[in-house]
Chains A and B, each alone.
Chain A
Amino acid sequence: GAVVSQHPSRVICKSGTSVKIECRSLDFQATTMFWYRQFPKQSLMLMATSNEGSKATYEQGVEKDKFLINHASLTLSTLTVTSAHPEDSSFYICSATGGGLFYEQYFGPGTRLTVT
């Protein structure tokens, strides 16, 4: 299957600071990338959908000014958590699809964010 990487895998930051997470498709061009968040023992929650060169589409209840998404190229999307607070601590996972006929999504390994 296709490979998606994320960096960093773990990050600890202080409350009030910003954190940037990178998501890269390594062996395919990702027309669309997605950002999810998952709290312990809970389901994946889609935060936003990002098409290359376009503004991201955020899900209801997700603050677009707090979670800044940039999809500047067909292989890279970034999520910046601005002014992070302890309640933002979570497992952030990106996925990517090359489109095609059936839109398989491949997930990155995730980034565990802890805000102290």
Chain B
Amino acid sequence: QKEVEQNSGPLSVPEGAIASLNCTYSDRVSQSFFWYRQYSGKSPELIMSIYSNGDKEDGRFTAQLNKASQYVSLLIRDSQPSDSATYLCAVIGTGFQKLVFGTGTRLLVSP
């Protein structure tokens, strides 16, 4: 079982729709959870971090964490073509330093 699992996609949504990206993790003691956006040929960019159960909103982005289900999600409201990228879910593991990445979900937003 992979430590952090994501659907590779692509997830295709029309412009203006809500994109929902999901991630599950296996290490129950994980404490910090992150979503990174990576455009093709570029490095990852941190867009959301979440540490407590529940929702965290930042602009058009909402991260959701459910530690009991070991599940993290990212909602992107009013999706734009510029949101088309690979979204990486990452978890701080038990070493409290290294990020463990999922393989990423490719999001395509069509005009």
Contacts and interface: CB of A to CB of B under 8 A. Distances in A.
A43 B104 contact: yes
Contact of B32 (A32, A102, A110): A102
Interface string B77-111: 00000000000101010001111010110000000
Nearest to A1: B46
Interface in B28-63: 31-32, 34, 36, 41-46, 49, 51
Contact of B31 (A32, A34, A102, A109): A102
Contacts of B41: 91
Contacts, number: 49
Interface residues of B, number: 22
B97 A32 contact: yes
Given A43-B104, A108-B43, A110-B42, A102 B97 contact: no
Where chain B touches its partner, the secondary structure class is loop
B42 A102 contact: no
Interface of B: 31-32, 34, 36, 41-46, 49, 51, 88, 90, 92, 96-99, 101, 103-104
Top 8 closest pairs, chain A to chain B, by CB? A110-B43, A102-B32, A107-B43, A93-B43, A107-B44, A103-B92, A43-B103, A109-B43
